[in-house]
Amino acid sequence: MEKRLIQFLLLLVLLWSGWHFWNPLWKFDLNEAVDSTSSEKIVFSIQKGSSAKTIASDLEDQDLVVNDSSFIKTVESEGLDEKLRYGSFVLSPSMTLREVVTVLTTEGTGELALTVPEGWTIEDIDTQLTELGLIEAGAFETCTKTCTFSTDFLSENQSLEGYLFPDTYFIDSETFNVEDLINQMLQNFDKKWSDELQAKLDASGRTLSDVVIVASMVEKEVRTTEDLPLVAGIIWKRLNNDWALGIDATLLYKDEDHSLTTEDLESDNAYNTRKNTGLPPTPICNPGLASLEATLNFEASDYWFYLTDKDGLVHYATTNEEHEENKATYLQ
């Protein structure tokens, strides 16, 4: 009797498993939302190369789909595995599973969250927009040179490098326009450039262009907030004393393979601050607010030299001899 009961139970399990496998109950989840009344917006990010399983798990963890398995089955059954996009997307618990699938694949459009980190260049932004499928390669960079923008802080034909403020921008992939995005970024710079910063600028006797160029170098040179004003102070001191800045990041700005050779270091490139005194012609990236503030609120010191080791720690020196010792100790 006991043996028959076990056999019966095993048969039920097999029947249930087979029925569950073939019966498309998961399709009922397609029109279900976690919370249809929610007005919350959540920025959902997908790393390049993420699998459908990873994406589904993350969606369920953030309460954006009712069932991760239903997401996976939908993607697999409709052949969308290779059409999942990467980037940051604006989703909501009020969206149905079908709407989520549509936004996250090339089958649809939707609101995207484009994050431009501190230190990105115009070229970096162009590359990201190209990889997201929003533009043809070079379209963003071309527009920064040929489109017309009206601002109070840019002179005619001035490079936009340095003034495209790093931030997260919400864009509609269906109606995306390069010129509109650049306008948003310039307006954001204008908004973040506070009256306090302007008062500091007026008191400094510097031009906005000089400050943004120095801030862009500071952004590329150091990672830690506490080092920003100290390094800015060294750069200003070198400029005031007609010293060459000796900043390799300026040469890397125009270097196609992003690696420096002896020939690069000896070149007559206008961005070669090892050979040329004064500032490079333009900013070398788009600095964030912390670097802009540190450049105006720089810290004076006895230091003339600094270097950043592989761990991002900055080492300072007052003499060239000390600097050479730091090189031997921290750059080997």
Give the Cα separation of 32 and 220 in Å (integer). Answer: 47
Orientation of helix 97-104 relative to helix 68-77, angle to 10°: 60
Q: Show which of 192, 217, 240 is a domain's final residue.
A: 192
Q: Are residues 96 and 116 in the same domain?
A: no
Q: Show which of 192, 214, 241 is a domain's final residue.
A: 192
Q: Are residues 280 and 245 in the same domain?
A: yes
Beta-carbon contacts of 199 under 8 Å, excluding residues fewer than 6 positions away, are: none
State the DSSP code for 182. Answer: H
The rounded mean pLDDT for the chain is 88
Q: Are residues 104 and 120 in the same domain?
A: no
Beta-carbon contacts of 17 under 8 Å, excluding residues fewer than 6 positions away, are: none
60 assigned to some structural domain: yes
Q: Are residues 294 and 221 in the same domain?
A: yes
When pLDDT is averaged across residues 160-183 and rounded to a whole number, the result is: 93
Residue 79: give its domain's CATH number.
3.30.1490.480
| Beta pairing partners, 317 | 305
| CA angle (225 as vertex; 223, 226 as ends), nearest 5 | 115
DSSP symbols for 192-206: HS-HHHHHHHHHHT-
What phi, psi does 122 have (nearest 5°)? -55, -40
50 assigned to some structural domain: yes
Structural domain harbouring 51: 23-108
313 assigned to some structural domain: no
Q: Show which of 161, 192, 223 is a domain's final residue.
A: 192
Coil, helix or strand at residue 301: coil
Q: Are residues 27 and 55 in the same domain?
A: yes
Q: Are residues 240 and 284 in the same domain?
A: yes
What's the half-sphere exposure (Cβ side, CA atoms, 13 Å) at 6? 3
Q: Are residues 39 and 78 in the same domain?
A: yes
17 assigned to some structural domain: no
For residue 64, CA distances in Å to 57, 80, 105 come to 10, 19, 16
Give the Cα separation of 288 and 228 in Å (integer). Answer: 11
Question: Could you identify the residue written with the tokens 């069932």?
Answer: 67
Residue 31 has a pLDDT of 84
Give the Cα separation of 9 and 155 in Å (integer). Answer: 81
Q: Going by DSSP bridges, is the β-strand pair 168-172/42-46 parallel, antiparallel, or unpaired?
A: unpaired
Task: Please give the single-letter amino acid code of residue 215.
Answer: A
pLDDT at 171 > cutoff 50: yes
Per residue in 65-120, pLDDT tens?
998 988 999 888 888 888 888 888 889 999 999 889 988 886 556 678 899 999 99
Question: Could you identify the residue written with the tokens 């919370």?
Answer: 35
Beta-carbon contacts of 295 under 8 Å, excluding residues fewer than 6 positions away, are: 211, 214, 215, 218, 228, 232, 287
311 assigned to some structural domain: no
Give the Cα separation of 258 and 151 in Å (integer). Answer: 32
pLDDT at 19 > cutoff 70: no
Give the Cα separation of 215 and 209 in Å (integer). Answer: 10
Q: Are residues 80 and 120 in the same domain?
A: no
What phi, psi does 33 have (nearest 5°)? -120, 155
Per residue in 275-323, pLDDT tens?
999 999 999 999 999 999 999 999 999 999 999 998 889 999 999 999 9
| Beta pairing partners, 314 | 308
Residue 282 has a pLDDT of 97
Length of the chain: 332
CB 126 within 8 A of CB 139: yes
146 assigned to some structural domain: yes
Structural domain count of the chain: 3
pLDDT greater at residue 77 or residue 121: 121
Residue 1 has a pLDDT of 56
11 assigned to some structural domain: no
Coil, helix or strand at residue 5: helix
Give the Cα separation of 297 and 111 in Å (integer). Answer: 38
Give the Cα separation of 152 and 186 in Å (integer). Answer: 10
